[in-house]
Chains A and B, each alone.
Chain A
Amino acid sequence: MAQTLSRGSVSGTAVKPGGGKRKPFLVDLYSTAVGKKYVMAITGLLLMGFVVAHMVGNLKLFQGETDGVYALDVYAVWLKELLYPAAPKSAVLWVMRSGLIVAVLLHIHAAYGLTVINRKARSVKYQSARDYDVANFASRTMRWTGVIVLLFILWHLADFTFGWVNPDFVYGEVHRSVVASFDRVPVAIFYIVANIALGIHLFHGLWSMFQSMGWNNPRFNSWRRPLATAIATVVVVGNVSFPIAVLAGIVTHPAV
């Protein structure tokens, strides 16, 4: 029987390879598909931690103002001066930002690498219709929800960090910028859609993380799905509440 496959060398034993340079350990690990999955899981966990903290912090939008000072603006300053004067102003913020940027880039790079591997693994597609038994909408749309979330992050930065696409951006007046941005219905809708995509991404991603990292134990297996559902729901409900509150007139700003 014709075996038409070429067979590469098997490196998977604790035997010193004869000659040739060995790749550095982490590079070697990352070059494998399972290694890439670890990177997806760990960076995903970091990013999810950020998303949850970001949502919780932004709930300050609902505190409004006391004596003309907005709670969200005070929170923004606090973030900037985290651990000041122990650390210089903005230093901690930039450490966290760098971590997030690296995590996002690694998450995307690993996802791209895995997608290429997976495409190659079935070069000729099924010619008849597949009928999926258990693969859900979330698991099958990870790439799409991921792309939507990425585009949304870029828009989000342009809107609230750089102010490029914000109609009334004033540096330091976060509350005002938020109200100004969400007053535009199409923007609010885009924001809501993107956050639902984020929730779908988290719903599969968090559960998937447990499997990828091998965190599987009869003691907590039954909690993995509910945990993923709960965190995804909390993030979506929290984030979507901001544009809805602005559109409904619950959160306002006199200058807008």
Chain B
Amino acid sequence: MTTTLKDLTLKIWRQKGPNDAGRFETYDIPEISDEASFLEMLDILNERLIESGLEAIVFDHDCREGICGTCSLMIDGHAHGPQRGTATCQLHMRQFTSGDTIVIEPFRATSFPIIKDLMVDRAAFDRIVEVGGFISAATGGAPDGNLIPVPKPVADASMDAAACIGCGACVAACPNGAASLFTGAKLAHLNLLPQGQAERFKRAEAMVDTMDEYFGSCTNHGECEAACPKSISIDVIALMNADYRKAKFKNRKALSRT
């Protein structure tokens, strides 16, 4: 098997810490294999930097198989790079042409503060999940399969939303820095299933209100859906908007009964 080698120029955002101004630095990186993933290409660059006594570039990564949601990066103005439905770790160098200049910037949002270089703190997502991204159920022995029947289309819609890996590409891609796709996906995942019904409206109000504290608002551009490595549909945002409205009325009624 022949491997094509590429010579690339990288313009990478370097920032010493949260309060540093930061700037782009340019690196020439020759002889990169087609088969290298984008993160492997950064590994190679880091090895070369370390060998020449320079500081390695900090970037987020973990499973490298597209399921953990740790990797990020704005690559040439696209969250997770130009290839649709792909996380940065699954993006390969065969997508680029020799001689390309690739611009790499961290995800940017006020609630995603930069820690160092390309690494950002996405803990605001945890705040949203903490207030409702779960079901409160007594756990005991594993229940029998199909104990609670779920219609196939409902199970499919819930599963599509559950594919969200919480990477934050939706926020990064959104011109408004909104987290509606993330919150919508977390809500759709649980609010469609029978197990999620008991806390459905409490969840909807709590998660959307928490989202409000950190992120912008949705103006229905659809950039999030295009950037999402799991291609989650903006249909979940409509579901979120509908559930939030219902929740506001239902919870108000519930409140008047207490």
Residues of A within 8 A of B (CB): 1-5, 7-8, 10-16, 25, 29, 32-38, 114, 117-118, 120-135, 139-140, 142, 204, 207-208, 210-216, 221
Instruction: Say whether A140 contacts B175, CB under 8 Å.
Output: yes
| Apart from the given pairs A14-B255, A118-B219, A212-B220, 12 other A-B contacts in the complex at a CB distance below 8 Å | A12-B132, A16-B255, A33-B218, A121-B109, A131-B76, A135-B223, A139-B219, A139-B221, A139-B222, A142-B219, A211-B234, A214-B242
From 211 to 258 in chain B, residues with beta carbon under 8 angstroms from any chain A beta carbon are 212-223, 225-227, 234-235, 237-245, 248, 251-252, 254-255, 258
Residue of A nearest to B250 (CB): A14
Q: Taking the nearest CB of chain A, how far is it from the CB of B153, in angstroms?
A: 9
A131 to B115, CA, bound (A): 24
Closest to A36 in B: B217
Q: Which 5 A-B pairs have the closest CB atoms?
A: A214-B242, A121-B216, A216-B238, A121-B177, A131-B77
Asked if B241 contacts A212 (CB within 8 A), the reply is yes
- Tell me which of B74, B206, B223, B258 contacts A128 (CB under 8 A): B74
B residues neighboring A (CB under 8 Å): 11, 13, 18, 22, 24, 74, 76-78, 82, 84, 103, 105, 108-111, 113, 115, 121, 123-124, 127, 131-132, 173, 175-178, 201-202, 205-210, 212-223, 225-227, 234-235, 237-245, 248, 251-252, 254-255, 258
| Contact call B238/A125, Cβ cutoff below 8 A | no
| A130 contacts B220, C-beta separation under 8 Å | no
| Interface contact A114-B219, CB-CB below 8 Å | yes
A79 vs B77: C-alpha distance when bound (angstroms) = 53
| A134 to B235 Cα, complex, angstroms | 15
Give Cα A133 to B109, complex, Å. 19
B218 and A211: CB pair below 8 A? yes
- CB A61 to nearest CB in B, in angstroms, measures 35
- Most chain B CB within a 10 A radius of its CB, from A5, A29, A142: A5
Chain B nearest CB from A210 CB (Å) reads 7
Report the minimal beta-carbon distance from B129 to chain A, rounded to whole angstroms. 12
Given A10-B206, A214-B241, answer yes or no on A2-B220 (Cβ-Cβ < 8 Å): no
B110 A126 Cβ-Cβ under 8 A: no
A89 to B145, CA, bound (A): 70
A124 CB to closest chain B CB, in angstroms? Answer: 6
Of A1, A13, A25, A214, the residue contacting B239 (CB under 8 A) is A214
**B245 surroundings in chain A (CB, below 8 A):** 34, 38, 213-214
Is B248 within 8 A of A29, CB to CB?
A: yes
Residues in A neighbouring B244, C-beta threshold 8 A: 34
Tell me if A33 and B217 are in contact (CB < 8 A): yes
Q: Could you tell me the dominant secondary structure of chain A's interface residues?
A: loop
Q: Nearest CB to that of B110 among chain A residues? A: A123
Given the known interface contacts A5-B111, A118-B216, A132-B223, the answer about A14 and B202 at a Cβ–Cβ threshold of 8 Å is yes
Q: Which of A14, A16, A134, A216 contacts B242 (CB 8 A)?
A: A216
20 A–B contacts from the bound complex (CB under 8 Å): A3-B123, A11-B209, A12-B205, A12-B209, A13-B202, A16-B255, A33-B218, A38-B245, A120-B110, A122-B108, A123-B110, A127-B22, A127-B105, A131-B78, A133-B223, A135-B175, A135-B223, A140-B221, A142-B219, A211-B234
Q: From B74, which residue of chain A is reached at the shortest CB distance?
A: A126
Chain A residues closer than 8 Å to B105, beta-carbon distance: 126-128
Nearest CB of chain A from residue B229's CB, rounded to whole Å: 13
Give bound CA distance, A95 to B184, whole Å: 39
State the Cβ distance, A21 to closest chain B Cβ, in Å: 14
Say whether, besides A4-B18, A213-B242, A125 and B108 are in contact (CB < 8 Å): yes
B62, chain A: closest CB distance, angstroms: 15
Closest to B214 in A: A5
